[in-house]
Homo-oligomer: A and B are copies of this chain.
């Protein structure tokens, strides 16, 4: 029997007893059980879905102390952050509960018949949605609550009427199992089938890939690396019956800071930015990895301020020893490609020190290696000669979850061009604050052009996340009894 070992992130020691890896037969059983649970869940009312989602939120909160302590042991993210993340996860479950209750999944377009010959005349049409089917959900390492077992993918899929099979992340196995235990208690208490939410764990093709290939699976949802996401997307596309795969991948999240604003608010912005770079040890998909500045005295002063503020940061241990090693390798890769270090210190075996470097815009544009994401507290200053060159830098980035534009308060040819350039490559454009922190709101868009996500027309955070798991159906000349359903399942 294959086993899996969890580790304490702060010390690298083994944590708890080894856990059994899910066998191929168990993967198939989880997918089949989700498939068996689909018909009834697809036919469930908004109220039933809301009751489940609220029950899951309450269950998380009821075990808060134990969950946060375990999460902290496995991830080193600290109790303040982890309590906040648990709050966010419960909030998100309740937000999708409210949406389910309001009937968002059952919204419909009534398109009455128009008499006469086509193309003007047409029969009575109604457009509504059906859930896709069981979702294979791949947890992320860096959000053990909000992008894991009960995270946004699971919440939005359940609200849409889809069962979920979760692939637990190896970085927080015990936490995943403890949360899954709560899920099973809630399902049992509400008389729902255990297979409505499944959990599998383990590495290699026998687990995650097998799940994506299973005929009962109708969609994939993933948060993680570009390499891992692209490989699973390829599997999803290569099935005899291809399925949509929603991957939220890596991103370097450029921050463009214009000189006039830096002249007046440089010190404050430097402190804010340094905090964002080091937050959670830089382990966010939205961590600002590139800072684009226009050459001049204001920008030089800002870099000195940023250097000081960043040197004062003390990042905590990274999530896993593998990520800690990957950080050093990524920094080395940047330096080898020509990034000139401004702040580079050794750190220890678990926690790195923040890294800051600088490059000329022309080099950044010319060399792919300078544009690669380094997961951790790293940022590269890109020196541009002009707004036109800033635009070339953004174009070279190509796709990012976010672009931050500081100093665009005034309407001008330059700020318009920068807004266009930012919108062309990002899912979210910020004009104040920092990109870390993704609000769960109606207008949120967490998903940008490739390589930041596989399907940039969709979002993994915010209300529109539910749309990923719904498919429209037009009903033509529907009978009266069916129209009376008003979009609700028959």
**Which chain A residues have a beta carbon within 8 Å of chain B's beta carbons?**
39, 42-43, 84, 87-88, 91-92, 109-111, 114, 118-120, 122-123, 125-127, 130, 233-234, 237, 241-244, 398-399, 408-411, 415-416, 419-420, 423-424, 426-433, 437, 439-445, 449-451, 454-457, 459, 462, 464, 467, 470-479, 481-482, 489-490
Give the nearest-CB partner of A475 in chain B. B429
Number of chain copies forming the complex: 2
Q: Which of B444, B455, B482, B490 contacts A244 (CB 8 A)?
A: B455
Listed by A's residue number, 19 A-B pairs whose Cβ atoms lie within 8 Å are A39-B420, A87-B119, A92-B119, A122-B439, A122-B441, A123-B439, A125-B439, A127-B445, A127-B464, A244-B455, A408-B482, A410-B481, A415-B481, A420-B489, A423-B490, A428-B475, A431-B479, A433-B477, A464-B472
Q: How far is the CA of A327 from the CA of B293 in the complex (A)?
A: 64
List chain B residues, Cβ under 8 A from A123: 432-433, 439
Within 8 Å CB of A474, what residues of B? 427-429, 443-445, 462
Contact of B432 with A476 in the complex, beta carbons under 8 Å: yes
When the two chains form their complex, are residues A241 and B110 in contact, meaning their CB atoms are under 8 A apart? no
**Contact partners of A127 in chain B: CB under 8 A:** 442-445, 464
Docked complex Cα distance between A423 and B130 (Å): 7
Instruction: Decide: A398 and B241 in contact? CB cutoff 8 A.
Output: yes
| Cβ–Cβ contact A443 & B109, under 8 A | yes
A442 (CB) vs chain B CBs: closest residue: B111
Report the Cα distance A490→B421, complex, angstroms. 11
Question: What B residues does A87 contact at CB under 8 A?
Answer: 119
Among residues of B, the one whose C-beta sits closest to the C-beta of A39 is: B420
How distant is the Cα of A397 from the Cα of B142 in the complex, in angstroms?
41
Q: How far is the CA of A476 from the CA of B445 in the complex (A)?
A: 10
**Are A442's CB and B476's CB within 8 A?**
no
A430:B479 contact, CB within 8 angstroms:
no
Bound Cα distance from A399 to B429, whole angstroms: 38
Chain B residues closer than 8 Å to A432, beta-carbon distance? 123, 476-477
Q: A123-B432, A444-B125 are in contact. Are A423 and B473 (CB under 8 A)?
A: yes
- Evaluate whether A481 and B411 lie within 8 angstroms (CB atoms) in the complex, with A427-B473, A473-B423 already known: yes
Q: Do residues A457 and B471 form an inter-chain contact, with CB atoms below 8 A?
A: yes
Contact A450 B88 (CB under 8 A): no
Measured CB to CB, the closest approach of chain B to A342, in angstroms, equals 28
How far is it, in angstroms, between the C-alpha of A444 and the C-alpha of B128 when the chains are bound?
A: 10
When chains A and B are docked, how far (Å) is the Cα of A118 from the Cα of B474?
39
Determine the distance from Cα of A441 to Cα of B457 in the docked complex, in whole angstroms.
Answer: 23
**Chain B residues with CB under 8 A of A443:** 109-111, 125-127, 474
Contact A420-B490, Cβ < 8 Å, known A119-B440, A441-B122: yes
- Taking the nearest CB of chain B, how far is it from the CB of A20, in angstroms? 34
Contact B476 A429, beta carbon cutoff 8 Å:
yes
Chain B residues, CB < 8 A from A471? 427, 449, 456-457
- What residues of B have a CB within 8 angstroms of the CB of A119 in the complex? 87-88, 91-92, 439-440
Top-3 shortest CB links A-B: A111-B443, A122-B439, A127-B443
Chain B proximity of A211: nearest CB distance (Å): 18
Q: Which residue of B lies closest to A88 (CB)?
A: B119
Query: Among B43, B125, B241, B244, which residue has its beta carbon within 8 angstroms of that of A420?
Result: B43
Contact of A111 among B242, B441, B456 (CB under 8 A): B441
CA distance A357 to B437 in the complex (A): 62
Enumerate chain B residues within 8 angstroms of A472, measured Cβ to Cβ: 427, 445, 457, 459, 464
Q: Which residues of B contact A429 (CB under 8 A)?
A: 473-476, 478
Minimum CB–CB distance from A304 to chain B (whole Å) comes to: 26
Select A431's contact among B243, B415, B467, B475, beta carbons within 8 Å.
B475
- Point out the residues of chain B lying under 8 angstroms from A454, CB to CB: 242
7 new A-B contacts, CB < 8 A, other than A111-B441, A241-B450, are A122-B440, A130-B423, A242-B454, A244-B455, A408-B479, A431-B482, A432-B477
With contact pairs A125-B441, A126-B443 given, residues A430 and B237 touching in the complex (Cβ less than 8 Å): no
Identify which of A410, A411, A445 gathers the most chain B CB atoms within 10 Å of its CB. Answer: A445
Contacts of A420 in B (CB 8 A): 39, 42-43, 489-490
